Amino acid sequence: MRTRPMVNLILDDEALTRGLGDEEARLLIEWLADWAERIAGRSATDADVLARVERLRRRGRTIRQFVELWCHQYDYGAALQLAATERCRWPANDPYADPWNLMHQILDYESHRLHAA
């Protein structure tokens, strides 16, 4: 399957960057686009690619919302509830974490999780 349509699904999804600063938004989008290209290159069928990229986009929205709640709204309770509901097993976070650093830590964790799958 061609990778460009899968990357466009990510680039056109404004819900992935809403509420983030430019630096952490760019980090998330680049990470998602990279993984969408990997998925498109490995999957056998178009339906499988689309399903996996959709799961990746949903995870990206969860990551975005967590970072927004934690770093921009300082609503730690809501952020932790979101993480628990979405079964995120990210390492403990510093309440004074820089948004870019937090995003980077989460994406590193998610990369290891995806490599293992």
What pLDDT was estimated at residue 78?
A: 97
Q: What is the average per-residue pLDDT within 62-85?
A: 96
What pLDDT was estimated at residue 59?
A: 97
Helices (H), the chain: 4-11, 22-42, 46-67, 76-85, 99-116
pTM: 0.91
Q: What is the average per-residue pLDDT within 94-101?
A: 90
88: left (phi over 0), alpha (psi -120 to 50) or beta: beta
Q: How far is CA 64 from CA 31, 32, 101, 116, in A?
A: 12, 12, 13, 22
Residues 6+ apart with CB under 8 A from 50: 6
